[in-house]
Amino acid sequence: MTVQASDFRFLADFMRDAAAIVLEPGKEYLVDSRLAPVASQAGFSGISALVQELRRSTHSPLAQKVIDAMTTNETSFFRDAAPYQHLRKAVLPALIEARRNERALSIWCAAASSGQEPYSMLMMMREEFPQLANWNVRFLATDISQEMLQRCRAGTYSQLEVNRGLPAPLLVKYFTKRGIDWQIDERLRSAIEWREFNLAGRAWLGLPSFDLIMLRNVMIYFDLQTKRSILANMRKVLRPDGYLFLGTAETTLNIDERFQSEQAQSSCYRVRAA
Amino acid sequence: MRALVVDDSAVIRTVLTRILAGLGFEVVSAVNGKEALEKLEVCKRPDLTLVDWNMPEMNGYEFIRAVRADTRWRDMPIMMVTTETEMEQVVRALAAGANEYLMKPFTPEMVQEKLAILGIAQG
Ligand SMILES: C[S@@+](CC[C@H](N)C(=O)[O-])C[C@H]1O[C@@H](n2cnc3c(N)ncnc32)[C@H](O)[C@@H]1O
């Protein structure tokens, strides 16, 4: 099955408007492979019939399912050594020092996917900075995909997922075997506030300010204008002495010159002093 | 970089040796814990030891305990080679002093990922 040209154009527009995700011509195979299961599950004869229904309403549960299916959720525990190393060695010690009077820290993981990134950070904080147990730590993790947020809240991972990147001592300490899967402790699950948030949307005013923001491996899907507006919004919610991490292959360079690289290898940025 | 591979299965020994050699390791192998302890005495200290659980004469658990009881090898990285159904053994192996586990069936990439977790640079 291949998607019809007019359906592809409609889906590309829909994904751009709904999630700012760019679907370039040539990505028809992605639509086929991602949406064929959604179509058959929802009882449509094919992608064409699904698109026909989507044309009628782009604010339906079906529309949410399409967004879920079309976003790439690839992630893993402790993905890339450099950012975690930099968090452990420099960023968290500096923030703990800077906030020693308030004893409060606010962290935002802005594209949480299935939760491995926020959980990795939380485990690292418990292991390396136990003093934070007495602090007021606010940890927000968001994603546009409701399906992903459900996975985050459940905190349940397959053997394959825990085999990737998660050190064995952390597996046995923080996870419990549930049938063939592993579930992370309830105390860690409830230490994070999980919320739906569209980075390309307008809900930014509802956000508090943050000391540390993870915006990793999600900007790659957006066009330049969306990247600019997201980074401008990030500057507003990031405290002046806060830190922003992008994916290791991503940069603010030529997108937002108000950010300056703090450590290149880990894609860590800070806002330039005015 | 040197690695010690301890497994009673010739197939696993061969596969692991090939992967580790491909990553630049010089590999020594042993068929059980007892032989591995003998190799430790005569060979240069390995940067990584991979050990199976079920082996005749001296199994992985006994081997790890013996190694950890000896100050010379107290902080030598040890990785358990295991299967999905044997995950409870990983818990025991870690308690005995293992650092990581590698799940069968494995690929060179999976071995590399585990080396990264252990902070072992490739050979
Ligand atoms: C590749 S994952 C990155 C996960 C994690 N940050 C990491 O680096 O491993 C990208 C995530 O971004 C989410 N996403 C895509 N578009 C988004 C948007 N407009 N707003 C918020 N999240 C979005 C997807 O649902 C997906 O879970």
Nearest-neighbour CA in chain A from B9: distance (Å): 23
| Interface with A, mutate which of B78, B85, B87 (most A CBs under 10 A) | B87
Residue-level pLDDT at B103: 92
Mean pLDDT of A122-131: 98
SS3 (DSSP) at B98: coil
Compute φ and ψ for A243, nearest 5 degrees: -130, 140
Compute φ and ψ for B26, nearest 5 degrees: -95, 125
Q: Which residues of B touch A167 (CB under 8 A)?
A: 100, 117
Task: Give A95-109 pLDDT, tens digit per residue.
Answer: 999 999 999 999 999
Residue-level pLDDT at A95: 98
Radius of gyration in angstroms for the set of CA atoms belonging to chain B, rounded to a whole number: 13
Residue A146 in this model has a pLDDT that exceeds 80? yes
- For residue B105, whether the previous peptide bond is cis, meaning omega lies within 30 degrees of 0, is yes
Mean pLDDT of A63-67: 90
Residue A241 in this model has a pLDDT that exceeds 90? yes
Does the beta-carbon distance from A159 to B101 stay under 8 Å? Answer: no
Which atom of ligand 1 lies nearest, measured to the CA of A197?
21
User: How far is the centre of ligand 1, averaged over its atoms, from the C-alpha of A75 (Å)?
Assistant: 9
| Interface with A, mutate which of B117, B118, B120, B122 (most A CBs under 10 A) | B117
Of A78, A168, A180, the CB nearest to B101: A168
Numbers of helices and strands, H then E, in chain B? 5, 5
Residue-level pLDDT at A19: 85
Classified by CATH at the fold level, domain A5-70 comes out as: Chemotaxis Receptor Methyltransferase Cher; domain 1 (1.10.155)
Nearest-neighbour CA in chain B from A4: distance (Å): 38
Classified by CATH at the fold level, domain B2-100 comes out as: Rossmann fold (3.40.50)
| Ligand 1: lining residues by beta carbon, under 6 Å | A 19-21, 71-75, 79, 111, 113, 117, 143-145, 148, 197-200, 216-218, 221, 247
Which residue, judged by its Cα, is nearest atom 19 of ligand 1? A19
Residue A209 in this model has a pLDDT that exceeds 90? yes
Residue A1 in this model has a pLDDT that exceeds 70? no
Task: State both tokens at A10.
Answer: 């409609």
What ranges do the domains of chain B cover?
2-100
Closest to B116 measured CA to CA, from B105, B95, B102, B104:
B102
Q: Which residues of A touch B116 (CB under 8 A)?
A: 81
Which residues are registered as beta bridge partners of B30?
Answer: B6
Of B84, B94, B110, the CB nearest to A168: B94
Strands A136-143 and A104-109: parallel
**Cα A40-A42-A43 angle, rounded to 5 deg:** 65
Residue-level pLDDT at B57: 92
User: How far is the centre of ligand 1, averaged over its atoms, from the C-alpha of A263 (Å)?
Assistant: 23
Compute φ and ψ for B36, nearest 5 degrees: -65, -40
Say what percent of chain A tops pLDDT 70: 100
What ranges do the domains of chain A cover?
5-70, 81-271
Which residues are registered as beta bridge partners of A159?
Answer: none
Task: Give B48-84 pLDDT, tens digit per residue.
Answer: 999 999 999 999 999 999 999 999 998 999 999 998 8
Of B84, B94, B113, the CB nearest to A172: B94
Task: State both tokens at A14.
Answer: 């829909």
Task: Give B79-96 pLDDT, tens digit per residue.
Answer: 999 988 888 888 999 999
DSSP, res B74: T
Ligand 1 probe mutation, A107, A218, A226, most atoms within 8 A of CB: A218
d(CA A190, CA A173): 17
DSSP chain A: ----HHHHHHHHHHHHHHH-B---TT-HHHHHHHHHHHHHHTT-SSHHHHHHHHHH-SSSHHHHHHHHHHS-----TT-SHHHHHHIIIIIHHHHHHHTTTTTEEEEEES--TTTHHHHHHHHHHHHH-GGGGGSEEEEEEEES-HHHHHHHHHTEEEHHHHHTT--HHHHHHHEEEETTEEEE-HHHHTTSEEEE--TTSSGGGG---EEEEEE-S-GGGB-HHHHHHHHHHHHHHEEEEEEEEE-TT---TTT-TTEEEEETTTTEEEEPP-
Looking at 3.30.200.20, 3.30.1490.440, 3.40.50.150, 3.40.30.10, the CATH number of the domain A81-271 comes to 3.40.50.150
Nearest residue in chain A measured CA to CA from B80: A168
Does the beta-carbon distance from B117 to A163 stay under 8 Å? Answer: no
Q: Out of A21-30, A180-189, A221-230, B18-27, which region has the weakest mean confidence (pLDDT)?
A: A21-30
Residue-level pLDDT at A188: 98
Mean pLDDT of chain A: 94
Per-residue pLDDT band at B121 (split at 50, 70, 90)? confident
CB A124 within 8 A of CB A88: yes
Which segment, A31-35, A60-64, A66-70, A193-197, is predicted with the most confidence on average? A193-197
CB pairs under 8 A between A and B: 27
Nearest-neighbour CA in chain B from A178: distance (Å): 12
SS3 (DSSP) at B26: strand
Residues of A with CB under 8 A from a CB of B: 78, 81, 159, 163-165, 167-169, 171-172, 177, 180
